[in-house]
Amino acid sequence: MYKENKGFYFEEVARRYLVDKKYVILDINFLCKFGEIDIIALKDGVLVFIEVKGRKNIDFGYPREYVTPIKIKKIISTANYYLMKKKYDNIQCRFDIVEIISNSKEINHIENAFEV
């Protein structure tokens, strides 16, 4: 329960940050058999798949360091399923990470964090 509430908090902070940056939020917590994508948004004609990672501090590393190769593979598979399900053809896509460090109130938006 605590983990889910903490995750919801970080995702809500990220969502508000993205809306302030003029992203149009299309989906939150898109879930399928391949995995989950925290936020799917549109910005300047680009479909953006966003992984949200948060930590209280950086004592054990930056939140982005917890986006492992296995997690990246799941995100890409989930994004491909999303594109197929929503019938998106010929749309530019990218994968971002929004990391939040709550003690310092720091938000880092890493665009093109990884590629297919």
pLDDT digits (tens, 9 = 90+) for 92-106: 999 999 999 998 889
**What is the value of pTM for the model shown?**
0.92
Which pLDDT band, with edges at 50, 70 and 90, does 4 fall under? low
The candidate with the shortest Cα–Cα distance to 82, out of 40, 42, 44, 113, is 40
HSE toward the beta carbon, residue 111, CA cutoff 13 A: 9
Asked if residue 3 has pLDDT above 60, the reply is no
* Token pair belonging to 41: 């948004």
